[in-house]
């Protein structure tokens, strides 16, 4: 079972920013899993007419890209939407789903940002610190600036915020729009990009993300 570091969930934006600033020094950028045999994709889907949501975690066997465990949680968003505070809507139900797993994944692959965040503490950092599992963010919406990478699979270019490199725009398929990879916790950027390529042999998004997305949609 995954052990989770607890903290009080804030009710205001100022409290949420204070939580990010307090937890930010706990993020580790060094090292990587000795071996990644399983990777968990995490996703949340919302009802368009309410704050009801479904959070899903799908654990894949990395070589086979087959599902070995999964969990879903229905709930309601308890924190308002606010730029840079995405994790306070999505982390609580995702942590609830992670607690239900019987397989502890070697890495979390989050549909969102890690260090590519105004306070360098996106969803992947938040979940990584609270579970102490290696975590990476694979975003689709840019936060920061980057030059387009080359057109070949595996080409990448740095994402920068305030002059600092915070991630990579990574081309997972030839000529297809890049994904935005950033470190969440206990992983290097090179290792994160390598894993994303391994998880995306045919499509733009890694199979972890695609599987978790399918799971929330079918559950809804």
Averaged pLDDT score across all residues of the chain? 94
Q: Which CATH architecture has domain 13-218?
A: 2-Layer Sandwich (3.30)
For residues 121-125, average pLDDT? 97
Q: What is the pLDDT of residue 143?
A: 85
- Kindly report which listed range (67-71, 100-104, 140-144, 197-201) carries the lowest average pLDDT score: 140-144
- 203: how many CB neighbours lie within 10 A of its CB? 13
Indicate the helix (H) or strand (E) that contains 90: helix 87-99
In the structure, what pLDDT confidence band is assigned to residue 180 with cuts at 50, 70 and 90?
A: very high
In the structure, what pLDDT confidence band is assigned to residue 48 with cuts at 50, 70 and 90?
A: confident
In the structure, what pLDDT confidence band is assigned to residue 54 with cuts at 50, 70 and 90?
A: very high
| Residues recorded for the chain | 220
Task: Give the residue carrying structure tokens 């979940």.
Answer: 127
CA-CA distances (angstroms) from residue 52 to 58, 78, 127? 20, 10, 21
In the structure, what pLDDT confidence band is assigned to residue 39 with cuts at 50, 70 and 90?
A: very high
Q: Is 106 part of any known ligand binding site?
A: no
Cβ atoms of 55 and 70 within 8 Å: the answer is no
Q: Is 43 part of any known ligand binding site?
A: yes
How large a percentage of the chain has pLDDT more than 90? 84
Report the C-alpha gap between 43 and 214 in whole angstroms. Answer: 9
**Nearest one of 35, 41, 39, 62 to 205, comparing CA atoms:** 41
Q: What is the pLDDT of residue 6?
A: 85
Cβ atoms of 2 and 134 within 8 Å: the answer is no
Angle between helices 123-131 and 87-99 (to 10 degrees): 40
């Amino acid at each position: 079972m995954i052990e989770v570091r607890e903290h009080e969930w804030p009710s205001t934006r100022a409290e949420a920013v204070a939580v990010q600033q307090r937890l930010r020094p706990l993020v580790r950028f060094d090292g990587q899993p000795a071996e990644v045999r399983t990777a968990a994709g995490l996703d949340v889907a919302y009802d368009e007419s309410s704050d009801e949501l479904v959070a899903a975690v799908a654990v894949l066997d990395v070589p086979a890209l087959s599902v070995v465990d999964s969990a879903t949680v229905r709930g309601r968003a308890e924190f308002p939407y606010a730029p840079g505070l995405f994790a306070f809507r999505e982390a609580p139900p995702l942590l609830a789903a992670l607690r239900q797993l019987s397989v502890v994944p070697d890495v979390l692959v989050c549909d969102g940002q890690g260090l590519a965040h105004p306070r360098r503490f996106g969803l992947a950092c938040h979940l990584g610190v609270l579970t102490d599992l290696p975590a990476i963010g694979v975003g689709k919406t840019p936060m920061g600036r980057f030059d387009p990478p080359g057109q070949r699979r595996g080409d990448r270019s740095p994402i920068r915020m305030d002059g600092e490199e915070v991630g990579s725009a990574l081309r997972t398929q030839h000529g297809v729009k890049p994904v935005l990879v950033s470190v969440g916790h206990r992983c290097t950027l090179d290792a994160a990009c390598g894993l994303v390529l391994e998880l995306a042999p045919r499509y733009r998004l890694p199979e972890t993300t695609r599987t978790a997305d399918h799971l929330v949609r079918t559950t809804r």
